[in-house]
């Protein structure tokens, strides 16, 4: 029994530890996720050609919604909303290919309208999670994650070259900076330990940022114009409902709801030496849907559990919810300070490209690991091969769908994820299983 003044251990799920122990551990989580959290918002804002002021608001919303989502997961509302597990939420790269397609064809408002419906779909998945899990075995989810990773490679390469909209696209300066950032991130990931390894992307971006500044590639005008405090604006970007975008997001939210089970399970098995309960899974997925609905009204893009932070929990065994809650508060405070958001938007595209290509590679490899966890017999290789072939192939030859209605091109021709998912699910249900199974 603890005395009244005795602080809880950081290795306990509940209780309040001392601030001097909790703060550096919380800061470690913030460092590991903040760049990954805002990068999708920066990319989409550039695809949608938002003005500087709107870009700052967009990034600000990403941080605020990430902080709120994390707090709800850590400290559930009642018994049904939130997992109560030590996880960090942030804007997910899994939605990026589809969001790029929607932003390029329509606008931000269409993404947010689809996100609202997608959040409702996630809530339904949470309610019926036991029955829906059988539709998404590892061979299906692995195929989807692998396809997401592959589809993001062109984005990273274009960013390394400076961004397709840049006047100096493909210049040697862009490539030089991108490869320096990539070398730093790769080197720290393989040769460093502790906080240096966990913050490899942040350190790489800082180094690239300094080099880019020496080349005169940084514009601080957005920072000087930003205010010191601002609350995210309600429906600032509007909200539109387009069938093709909604269909895409319903499928993606369903998949990512199932995928979240993996992160919840990795958290509990790595940090708590047990599997998550059905109530924890259901509460976590329902909260995931609700917070994404909330995000759609404030311009916060779709969130999901951050695997890098799951890795920190599993490695350090620090599972105290107050430690991660402090990290969420730091993220939340950063979201209320537009100067921080504005500073993040000044990162050159070549720097982001050099840092994120390794992230996209890890996404693809995560999918490959899920696939390899299953027997690679003729049935499973057919599912993976055909799903990826159709998903990637049709996207790269999207002109072949020009005779179809526009919504068909948007759903199946702009992002490979939807077609690959549908193909994998159907083949998994239709193809006969081996006798050993």
pLDDT per residue as tens digits for the range 332-371? 988 898 888 788 778 888 888 888 788 778 778 878 888 8
Residue 11 is assigned to a structural domain of this protein: no
pTM for the whole structure: 0.77
Mean pLDDT of 384-396: 90
Distance CA 340, CA 331 (A): 11
Q: Which domain holds residue 256?
A: 19-227+237-430
Confidence bin at 399 (pLDDT 50/70/90):
confident
Q: Give the mean pLDDT of the chain.
A: 85
**pLDDT score at 437:** 53
Residue 123 is assigned to a structural domain of this protein: yes
Mean pLDDT of 23-36: 80
SS3 52: helix
**pLDDT score at 436:** 58
**pLDDT score at 286:** 94
**pLDDT score at 6:** 67
pLDDT in tens, 111-135: 999 999 999 999 999 988 877 777 7
CA 92 to chain centre: 1
Question: DSSP code of 398?
Answer: G
pLDDT at 423 over 80: yes
Could you give the number of structural domains in the chain?
A: 1
**Cα-based distances in Å from 279 to 83, 124, 158:** 8, 14, 43
Mean pLDDT of 262-269: 76
Residue 337 is assigned to a structural domain of this protein: yes
Cβ-in-10-Å burial (0-12, 13-18, 19+) of 246 comes to: buried
Residue 64 is assigned to a structural domain of this protein: yes
**pLDDT score at 349:** 83
pLDDT in tens, 361-375: 877 887 888 888 888
Distance CA 409, CA 330 (A): 41
pLDDT at 25 over 70: yes
pLDDT in tens, 197-249: 767 777 888 899 999 999 888 888 777 777 778 888 888 899 999 988 998 89
Residue 232 is assigned to a structural domain of this protein: no
The CA dihedral of 32, 34, 35, 40, to the nearest 10 degrees, is 130
Cα Rg of the chain (Å, integer): 21
pLDDT in tens, 138-163: 888 788 878 878 887 887 888 899 87
Mean pLDDT of 378-406: 87
Q: Which of 95-99, 310-314, 322-326, 420-424 is the least confident region?
A: 310-314
pLDDT at 70 over 90: yes
Residue 179 is assigned to a structural domain of this protein: yes
The CA dihedral of 171, 177, 180, 186, to the nearest 10 degrees, is -100
Residue 4 is assigned to a structural domain of this protein: no
Residue 197 is assigned to a structural domain of this protein: yes
């Amino acid at each position: 029994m603890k005395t009244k003044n005795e602080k809880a251990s950081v290795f306990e799920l509940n209780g309040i530890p001392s601030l001097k122990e909790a703060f550096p551990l919380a800061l470690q989580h913030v460092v590991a996720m903040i760049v990954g959290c805002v990068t999708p918002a920066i990319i989409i804002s550039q695809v949608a050609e938002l003005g500087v002021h709107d870009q700052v608001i967009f990034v600000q919303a990403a941080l605020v919604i990430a902080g709120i989502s994390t707090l709800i997961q850590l400290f559930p509302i009642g018994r049904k909303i939130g997992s109560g597990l030590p996880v960090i939420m942030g804007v997910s790269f899994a939605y990026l290919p589809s969001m790029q397609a929607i932003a390029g064809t329509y606008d931000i408002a269409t993404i947010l309208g689809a996100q609202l419906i997608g959040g409702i779909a996630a809530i339904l998945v949470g309610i019926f999670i036991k029955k829906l899990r059988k539709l998404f075995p590892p061979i299906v989810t692995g195929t989807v994650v692998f396809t997401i990773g592959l589809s993001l490679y062109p984005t990273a390469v274009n960013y390394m070259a400076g961004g397709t909209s840049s006047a100096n696209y493909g210049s040697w300066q862009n490539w030089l900076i991108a490869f320096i950032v990539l070398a730093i991130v790769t080197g720290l990931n393989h040769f460093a330990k502790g906080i240096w390894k966990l913050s490899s992307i942040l350190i790489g971006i800082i180094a690239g940022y300094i080099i880019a500044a020496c080349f005169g590639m940084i514009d601080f005008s957005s920072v000087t114009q930003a205010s010191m405090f601002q609350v995210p604006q309600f429906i600032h970007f509007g909200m539109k409902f387009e069938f093709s975008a909604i269909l895409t997001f319903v499928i993606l939210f369903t998949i990512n709801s199932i995928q979240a089970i993996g992160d919840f399970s990795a958290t509990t098995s790595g940090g708590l030496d047990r599997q998550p309960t059905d109530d924890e899974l259901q509460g976590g997925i329902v909260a995931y849907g609700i917070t994404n609905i909330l995000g759609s009204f404030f311009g916060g893009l779709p969130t999901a559990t951050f695997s890098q932070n799951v890795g920190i929990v599993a490695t350090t065994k620090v599972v105290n919810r107050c430690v991660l809650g402090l990290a969420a508060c730091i993220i939340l405070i950063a979201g209320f300070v537009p100067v921080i958001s504005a500073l993040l938007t000044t990162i050159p595209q070549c720097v982001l490209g050099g840092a994120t290509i390794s992230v996209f590679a890890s996404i693809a490899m995560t999918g490959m690991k899920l696939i390899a966890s299953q027997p690679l017999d003729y049935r499973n290789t057919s599912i993976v091969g055909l799903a990826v072939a159709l998903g990637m192939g049709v996207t790269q030859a999207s002109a072949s769908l020009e005779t179809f209605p526009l919504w068909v091109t948007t759903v199946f021709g702009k992002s490979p994820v939807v077609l690959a998912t549908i193909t994998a699910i159907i083949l998994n249900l239709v193809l006969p299983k081996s006798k050993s199974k």
